[in-house]
Amino acid sequence: MAVVFRRSGGREEVLMIERAERVGDPWSGQVAFPGGKVEAFDGSFEEAAARETEEEVGIRLGASSFLGYMSSVKARTRDITVVPCVFELTEDATPTLSGEVVSTFWLPLAELLSGESRSVYSPERGDMTGFPSFVYEGHVIWGLTERILSAIVGDAAGG
């Protein structure tokens, strides 16, 4: 998974995607970071994140933009562990959509730091209620993505 930062207009932003609706995809339609599964031919988590980001949103992440890894995060509902790979765009890049992604947006970190975007999300499934979330311009960000963003905000706030 790629956590892609950029500085725009004096503010720090992180790239978010909205996943396409797909049968059998447990994260179908959700807001997420670009990136995905590590394949046998990937030499590292960094390579997998960069490859998947280019496939999903057409942004090529060079080795010079790789800042490092965040702590791994285990999904609560699946036996999946994610290693967030942090990148910073060093030049302008415009995302292009693929069949896996229906939209992209840049989320300002200041929006998260203010605390005003904090919410609680209840999915439309009877077995799941009351998850911490962020809401930004109508996008609900919850689950694993919310946990990673909360770690980033905690780090940025000195927490």
**Domain residues of the chain, as ranges?**
2-156
Task: Answer whether CATH 3.90.79.10 is correct for domain 2-156.
Answer: yes
Q: What is the DSSP string of 129-148?
A: --EEEEEETTEEEEHHHHHH
Q: Determine how β-strand 2-8 pairs with β-strand 85-88.
A: parallel
Looking at per-residue confidence, does 45 or 156 come out higher? Answer: 45
Per-residue pLDDT tens over the stretch 113-129 = 877 777 777 676 555 56
Percent of the chain with pLDDT over 70: 89
pLDDT at 159 over 50: no
